[in-house]
């Protein structure tokens, strides 16, 4: 049971965590913090938070657990503002997409008697704001925690239990490994989706709108391009090195396909397409099997 939980950033991620914990009876009071009163009032009306405020300092003073659900670029300023006002023994955690950045910012600002645990639930949609939150978001999804040599074991246990209680399968790995893996399967797809939409948008002219002919394939591929631009800007910059390597890898694949087209090498194109189909089909099959084992 968490007595007083403070969520800084009451949107899809933070709001869904609050709803999940409430549904399981694992939290007494949820305090929502944000910049926009309208969103906070909505969160209160939806039962996501019990109390809301735009004053972070006021919110965290008696907090047992504080969850950051804000863009990665805001971590430094948030940590700096709340650090002097957290009680001894408070646990701070997050839900951000890059873990080395989170650990570095926490180490810079948080005192030794406040315990930070870096975490990343692998779940979400392209929607944002309190209205997008739902209690089942984390069911049967991974949550990665990335403890380091300074991580307090008791705090680690509390954070792992928190995510498990909302339905996540929690695993541990080094922050560096997490950032490389997520650059490939999360950060690169978002960059690719944004890039594809921009490429198509630039083909518009006074006589021709390619979007008028787009159907299900384009919609499905580009769904995540409707995600928060500010959030993904911060993710990209905070995981720059790993993401650049993944972009290079994608460009290599596209260049190989382009060359096959230039050479009219149908056999090579078929091999490339078939290899991708097999890899994706096997991945989907493994996910179905895992869900079946848990049901």
CA distance 99 to 176: 8
The pLDDT, as a whole number, for residue 57 is: 95
pLDDT of residue 194: 97
| pLDDT, tens digit, 9 for 90 and up, residues 172-223 | 999 999 999 999 999 999 999 999 999 999 999 989 899 999 999 999 999 9
pLDDT digits (tens, 9 = 90+) for 118-136: 999 998 777 888 999 999 9
Q: Which two tokens stand for residue 255?
A: 């260049």
The overall average pLDDT reported for the chain is 95
CATH number of 177-264: 1.10.3660.10
pLDDT at 6 over 70: yes
**CA–CA separation, 33 vs 152, rounded Å?**
25
Q: What is the pLDDT of residue 94?
A: 97
Nearest to 159 by CA among 13, 8, 17: 17
What average pLDDT does this structure show over 252-264? 97
- pLDDT value of residue 141: 93
| Torsion of Cα atoms, 59 then 64 then 69 then 75, to 10° | 80
Per-residue model confidence (pLDDT) at position 36:
92
DSSP code, position 171: E
Nearest C-alpha neighbor of 72 from the set 188, 239, 226: 239
Confidence label for 228 from pLDDT (cuts 50, 70 and 90): confident
* Sequence ranges of the chain with CATH classification 1.10.3660.10: 177-264
Output the pLDDT for position 289.
80
pLDDT above 80 (res 33): yes
CATH of the domain spanning 2-173: 3.40.50.720
Residue 96 · residue 76 · CB < 8 Å: no
C-alpha distances in angstroms, 145 versus 2, 34, 152, 238?
19, 25, 13, 17
Candidate from 214-228, 248-262, 264-278, 279-293 with smallest mean pLDDT: 279-293
| CA separation for the pair 155, 135 (Å, rounded) | 23
Cite the residue boundaries of each domain of the chain with CATH code 3.40.50.720.
2-173
Question: Residues 42-89: pLDDT tens digits?
Answer: 999 999 999 999 999 999 999 999 999 999 999 999 999 999 999 999
- pLDDT for position 290: 76
User: When comparing pLDDT for 257 and 123, which is higher?
Assistant: 257
Q: In the numeric block, which tokens belong to residue 119? A: 């975490």
For residue 137, the SS3 value is coil
- Residue 166: both structure tokens together: 């909302």
Q: Inform me whether the pLDDT recorded for 295 exceeds 70.
A: no
Q: What is the DSSP letter of 97?
A: S
Looking at residues 6-11, what average pLDDT do you find? 96
Predicted local confidence at residue 127, as pLDDT? 80
In the chain, where do the E strands start and end?
A: 2-8, 27-33, 51-53, 65-68, 91-94, 115-117, 119-121, 142-145, 169-172
């Amino acid at each position: 049971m968490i007595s007083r939980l403070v969520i800084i950033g009451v949107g899809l991620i933070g709001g869904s965590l609050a709803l999940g914990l409430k549904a399981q009876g694992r939290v007494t009071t949820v305090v929502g913090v944000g910049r926009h009163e309208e969103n906070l009032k909505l969160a209160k009306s939806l039962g996501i938070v019990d109390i809301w405020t735009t004053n972070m300092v006021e919110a965290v003073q008696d907090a047992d657990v504080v969850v950051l659900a804000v863009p990665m670029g805001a971590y430094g300023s948030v940590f700096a503002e709340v650090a002097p006002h957290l009680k001894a023994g408070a646990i701070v955690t997050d839900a951000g997409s890059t873990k080395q950045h989170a650990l570095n910012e926490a180490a810079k600002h948080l005192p030794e008697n406040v315990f930070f645990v870096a975490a990343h639930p692998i779940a979400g949609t392209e929607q944002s704001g309190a209205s997008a939150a739902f209690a089942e978001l984390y069911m049967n999804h991974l949550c990665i925690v990335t403890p380091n040599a300074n991580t307090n074991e008791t705090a680690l246990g509390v954070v792992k239990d928190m995510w498990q209680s909302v339905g996540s399968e929690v695993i541990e790995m080094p922050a560096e490994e997490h950032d490389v893996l997520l650059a490939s399967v999360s950060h690169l797809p978002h960059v690719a989706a944004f890039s594809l939409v921009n490429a198509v948008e630039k083909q518009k002219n006074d006589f021709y709108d390619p979007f008028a002919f787009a159907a299900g394939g384009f919609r499905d591929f580009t769904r995540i391009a409707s995600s928060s631009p500010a959030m993904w800007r911060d993710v990209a910059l905070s995981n720059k090195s790993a993401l650049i390597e993944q972009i290079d890898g994608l460009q290599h694949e596209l260049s190989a396909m382009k060359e096959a087209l230039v050479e009219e090498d149908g056999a090579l194109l078929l091999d490339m397409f078939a290899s991708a189909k097999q890899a994706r089909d096997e991945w989907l099959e493994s996910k179905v099997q895992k869900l079946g084992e848990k049901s």
